[in-house]
Amino acid sequence: MKWLMVGVLILFVLLGSFLLTPSPIDSKAWQPPSPPPLTGPLAPNERLRLADLLARGQVYGPEDTTVSKDGVVYSGTQDGRVIRLFPDGRVETWLRTGGRPLGMVFDRDGDLIVADAWKGLLSIAPDKTVTLLAREAEGTPFRFTDDVDIAPDGRIYFTDASSRFQQPEYRLDLLEMRPHGRLLRYSPRIGKAEVLLGNLHFANGVAVSPDGAFVLVNETWKYRILRYWITGPKAGQAEVFADNLPGFPDNLAVDEEGRYWVAFPTLRNAQVDALHRTPWLKDLVAKLPDSLKPTPQEYGLVVAFNRDGEVITSLHDTKGTHLQEITSVNPHDGYLYFGSLHNDRIGRIPLRAIPGLGDDEA
């Protein structure tokens, strides 16, 4: 009996300590919409299992990819490397940024523009010279530089996913559900970044339309994609491009036919949607170890939209054994390349292997 009482006392002390410890977040309630049915063009299939697996076991966390003019695939890995994957299958470390390279794209001069989660917006010359382009905008430092794209006029559009939480803390940003994200634009001519849209719930992937008329940005925690008009009568205005998506949208890119490809690391999570209704419970969950927080479902998903935000087709790996946690999808020379935040491979599938694309108008 004595040891039982001691055990109960210890339990109460631990519970009291947990409850009295301040939460790392100040969460806000949100009522998410009911998930859309996976029917029609969203119906589950196993098309992602047709993808070739490149650099398998030789990379970890190739979050985004881009392909140079000579056909070399570049990607940034979890340990801070930018790697090169050659057409013959050879993989080499090109350089280390000292941070976590995420979104990347080549500019017209052949420099690699990188959104590094820790370092900011970088430009890397062919001789490996690294130049910091921007680390803050309008007085607020970047804490989670995420994705990047370049408009036809050379201006760079990129995101700071959260001005409060850094990359390892992304689940805290999700639970808090406050708008810390920003869509930004860097002008090489003036060497300065400006804020185009603030108050976004995890500003993630960006893609500029081929004609430079608008830029799309994923607002991940709200399951939607926004369109910010660059030119025309709506210039400077934002609107919803696609809403109530089936999962958490990450990076996106546009192909030569004007189709917008969106990567989804995982499907919607019923536990997370339920937690959003109860801020005090989210504050408690935020204090738990990551192993006790809601975890993403192992699933592979990529969705294509037309210019009007309508779903054209989707690619799935329902068990996530071939490709899962897909964070980027990049069209290049008739292929789609798939990156992942934590996987050990880069996927590649020819567009011609995807049924129905030739019958859809972008």
- The model's pLDDT over 269-281, given as tens digits with 9 standing for 90+, comes to 999 999 999 999 9
Element (H, E) at 5: helix 2-20
pLDDT, tens digit (0-9, with 9 covering 90-100), for 35-52: 999 999 999 999 999 999
Strands 156-160, 335-340: pairing is unpaired
Q: What percent of the chain has pLDDT over 90?
A: 90
**pLDDT higher than 90, residue 129:** yes
Alpha helices in 63-181 (DSSP H): 170-176
Residue 177's pLDDT is 98
Whole-number average pLDDT of the chain: 93
Residue 357's pLDDT is 81
Nearest to 147 by CA among 230, 67, 262, 64: 64
Nearest to 82 by CA among 91, 357, 237: 91
Which domains does the chain carry? 28-353 (2.120.10.30)
**CA 46 to chain CA centroid, nearest Å:** 22
Residue 182's pLDDT is 98
Query: For residues 82 and 75, is the Cβ–Cβ distance under 8 A?
Result: yes
**pLDDT higher than 50, residue 200:** yes
pLDDT band, very low/low/confident/very high, at 358 (cuts 50, 70, 90): low
Output the 3-class SS for 309-340.
CCEEEEEEECCCCCCCCEEEEEEECCEEEEEE
Distance CA 150, CA 50 (A): 30
* Mean pLDDT along residues 202-217: 98
Residue 2's pLDDT is 52
Q: What percent of the chain has pLDDT over 70?
A: 93
Query: For residues 196 and 228, is the Cβ–Cβ distance under 8 A?
Result: yes
Residue 355's pLDDT is 87
Name the strands in the sheet holding 300-305, side by side, starting at the edge strand that comes first in the sequence: 252-254, 260-264, 300-305, 311-317
Per DSSP (E only), the strands in 161-299 are 181-187, 192-200, 203-208, 214-219, 224-229, 238-242, 252-254, 260-264
* Mean pLDDT along residues 231-253: 98
* Mean pLDDT along residues 81-106: 98
Residue 21's pLDDT is 81
- Within 10 angstroms of residue 23's Cβ, the number of other Cβ atoms is 17
pTM for the predicted model, two decimal places? 0.94
Dihedral (CA of 297, 302, 307, 312) sign: negative
* Mean pLDDT along residues 242-260: 97
Residue 248's pLDDT is 98
The CA-CA-CA angle for residues 54, 346, 72, to 5°, reads 70
Residue 20's pLDDT is 52
Query: For residues 68 and 58, is the Cβ–Cβ distance under 8 A?
Result: no
Dihedral (CA of 130, 102, 276, 37) sign: positive
pLDDT, tens digit (0-9, with 9 covering 90-100), for 14-37: 444 445 589 999 999 999 999 999
pLDDT, tens digit (0-9, with 9 covering 90-100), for 155-167: 999 999 999 999 9
